[in-house]
Chain A
Amino acid sequence: MTSKKETTGANAVIQSLLAEGTDLVFGYPGGAIMPIYDALYDVEDRLTHILARHEQGAIHAAQGYARATGNVGVCFATSGPGATNLITGIADAQIDSTPLVCITGQVGSKLLGTDAFQETDVIGISMPVTKWNFQVTKASEIPSAIAKAFYLARSGKPGPVLIDITKDAQFEKFEFHYKPFEGMRSYIPTPTCEANYLNEAASLINKAKKPFILFGQGVLLSGAQMAFKTFIEKTGIPSAWTIMGLSSLDSDHYLNVGMLGMHGNYAPNKLTNECDLLIAIGMRFDDRVTGNLDSYAKQAKVIHIEIDPAEIDKNVKADVPLLGDAREILEALIPIVDKRSHDNWLSEFRKLEQEEIAQVIQGELHPTGDILTMGEVIHQINELSDQKNIFVTDVGQHQMITCRYAKFKATNSSITSGGLGTMGFCLPAAIGAKMGREDAQVIAVIGDGGFQMTIQELGTIFQYKTAVKIVVLNNDFLGMVRQWQELFFDKRYASTTMVNPDFQTIVRGYGIKAKMVDQRCDLKLAVQEMLEYKSSYFLEVKVGKENNVFPMVATGASVAEIRLS
């Protein structure tokens, strides 16, 4: 598709976005990006702009949108503080492989480097946390820069890119001509897997007595859900997920053995050190997953399916590296692996699961004391919904509890800040997710700490009538840090106590229906009301102040040393 006409750089930005299929942009205007906003004014019927209440809110919303839809998230910010406020979201998107195109305004090109008003070297600042970035100083560079930005954001291992556009380039007129980017020699998005490695992997899989699969977000990003399910059902291999891989496979699938890592399930952590073959699919052996690497799965052969060559052997040495797109590799493996089952091996997982149920899960989901638990709130949502909700979580205890206990029957349904652990991510990300997936029940589960980090985005919900459901699990503590202080710092609760305002009053001020629950007998009805409510709804649950999340692999410990209490 090509088109030619004389236009301004600012209009070229808008036309290029439309050409890439963008219909939703999150952002915040300011001096250096005003020409672009002016051009946006003419196409508001085709390109909706969501005015966040802070640039961090805008970018997390773009992330939530991208994660829920699979599309590239787009956000705008002005120069200087506008641009620097994007950085946390960019870093989050980089480490969690979220496709984003960020467009920042910049001071006029003649002022570059002069410490002009609202000038920041955003190219320099964003370099370590972007997949690619580029400064535009001439209008004619805009179409190719945006085409390249979208190509790089969505191809290969997705990630955030940033284009910084000087104000004079936005005003400048030129002959607009758009054509999609066609690739570059220095960037091979998807490496080719060597055929002999595929055969080697199949032979290891066919011979293994105790094979074990770890799956991550690569399954979602490559759209491998179906192939993955076929693959595990044919090979009969127990499979555990990283939190980024959550919702790739139905929670109740017979081969789903749970969550990996620090607060993951007992069996998959423990048995990591007993399997004879570890098959990692679209995951990168993050330290929160592996615990101490010196005692991690040393007994096992490792097959690593991964699109990014830099991840091979980075943390765990791969005996057989399968480079490429997870879906393509799984589809190539399916015909060459044997149909098998591993009933005895699988029952080892189920046996350990019983221990975890008895010691941890039962008490969390069906507590008998007066104190409400985070787990029972999530359990109620499971019970009262069709389990096709999109859960968006923040960072901390509530995040671990939600990931552990929320049930998923639909894919691409868990959105959380995994790699960066960004508190404040949830509320804006949930807004973006809901805007991208209006059909879905989007439930934001947040702690009282993280809620207040981006609480201003209630204004965005108010303005756009975003029907997002907000569950604040309030323990009047920064719970996860408090838990660590209890376990590892002699209960010295330094700066983790939160004296919270009346959230009900605040939320009602934004026109959001609000309810607070502090007794078990009211919980079910409140959850029911929230799920059925057509507009945005705020449910605050006062949970136990000093409850802990278990199991837990302490820092520096081996996954096999996972503790249940």
Chain B
Amino acid sequence: MEKKRFTISVFTEDVVGILNRVTIIFTRRKINIESIAASESEVQGIHRYTIVIREDETKIIKVVKQLEKQVAVVKAVYHGENDIVFQEIALYKISTEALVSGGQAEKIVRAHHARVLTVEKEFTVLEKTGQKEETQQLFEELEPYGILEFVRSGRVAITKPMRTLASIVEELEAINKSH
């Protein structure tokens, strides 16, 4: 089966070690994680991981069930590229002198809708949010000026279906009470 890019959203209780339990499931099947982003979700006490991988869908379905089997995982879902709206953020540190002397800097920053976060005597930090191709494009255009440091976040994604996390949590709490 053909490998495609999928985004998996994993919602977990806020407990030590759960990130490890989540990644072990990928390691076991030798699936490489392209990117991972983790932080607290809109529901207090529940963390959200956004994990991007390339795999065939039948394998992803099994992985998602095994993720959900973890005791501290509240919910796990996977999405194809068309089911989500996603972004990444990239930061670029470049020499202020190189940027100014080249003459093209303003043009590049404007064309990419990049933000200037700080200008110091020695360096300037630019920020660009977008999809990987967009942050990569800016990277390539800035490269001639010498990139001193670069970092790109993992993908964060919002899903298109209208089910809210709060309603899922509410349902699970109700099931739990009835047991």
What is A's interface to B at a CB cutoff of 8 Å? Answer: 123-124, 127-128, 131-133, 135, 152, 183-190, 192, 308-310, 312-314
Contacts and interface: CB of A to CB of B under 8 A. Distances in A.
B69 A310 contact: yes
A92 to B, nearest CB: 17
Given A185-B176, A189-B179, A314-B62, A131 B71 contact: yes
A211 B16 CA distance: 48
A128 B24 contact: yes
Contacts of B57: none
12 contacts: A135-B16, A185-B173, A185-B176, A186-B13, A186-B73, A188-B172, A188-B176, A310-B68, A310-B69, A312-B65, A313-B61, A314-B62
Given A185-B176, A188-B172, A188-B176, 13 more contacts: A124-B20, A131-B71, A132-B72, A135-B16, A183-B176, A186-B13, A186-B73, A186-B172, A189-B179, A192-B175, A310-B62, A310-B66, A314-B65
Nearest to A312: B65
Contacts of A183: 176-177, 179
Give chain B's interface residue range (CB within 8 Å of chain A). 20 to 34
A124 B16 CA distance: 11
Contact of A127 (B24, B66, B176): B24
A48 B69 CA distance: 34
Contact of B28 (A128, A133, A135, A308): A128
Given A128-B28, A188-B176, A189-B179, A123 B65 contact: no
A132 B69 CA distance: 11
A186 B12 contact: yes
Contact of B65 (A132, A188, A309): A309
- In the complex, the 6 A-B pairs of residues with the closest C-beta atoms, listed nearest first: A310-B65, A186-B74, A185-B172, A310-B69, A132-B71, A183-B176
B176 A308 contact: no
Interface string B19-51: 011001000100000000000000000000000
A152 B71 contact: yes
A135 B15 CA distance: 11
Contacts of B175: 188, 192
Contacts of B68: 309-310
Nearest to B21: A127
A308 B74 contact: no
A276 to B, nearest CB: 25
A309 B176 CA distance: 17
A123, A128, A133, A189: most-surrounded residue (chain B CB, <10 A):
A128
Nearest to A152: B71
Residue of A131, A185, A187 with most partner-chain B CB within 10 A: A185
A100 to B, nearest CB: 15
B126 interface: no
A517 to B, nearest CB: 46
Contacts of B169: 185
B134 to A, nearest CB: 36
Given A185-B74, A188-B172, A123 B69 contact: no
B102 interface: no
Contacts of B20: 124, 127
A189 B17 CA distance: 21
Contacts of A131: 71
A309 B62 CA distance: 10
Contacts of B71: 131-132, 152, 184, 186-187
Contacts of A312: 65
B176 A184 contact: yes
A184 B175 CA distance: 10
A152 B16 CA distance: 17
Contacts of B17: 123, 127, 133
Interface in B57-82: 61-62, 65-66, 68-69, 71-74
Contacts of B73: 186
B23 to A, nearest CB: 10
Contacts of B66: 310
A443 to B, nearest CB: 35
A188 B179 CA distance: 9
A152 B72 CA distance: 11
Contact of B69 (A185, A192, A308): A308
Interface in B136-179: 169, 172-173, 175-177, 179
A310 B179 CA distance: 21
A185 B13 CA distance: 9
A186 B69 contact: no
A192 B176 CA distance: 12
A313 B57 CA distance: 13
Contacts of A310: 62, 65-66, 68-69
Contacts of B24: 127-128
A123 B62 CA distance: 25
A190 B176 contact: no
Contacts of A189: 179
Nearest to A161: B71
Contacts of B28: 128
A420 to B, nearest CB: 15
A135 B20 CA distance: 14
Nearest to B69: A310
A185 to B, nearest CB: 4
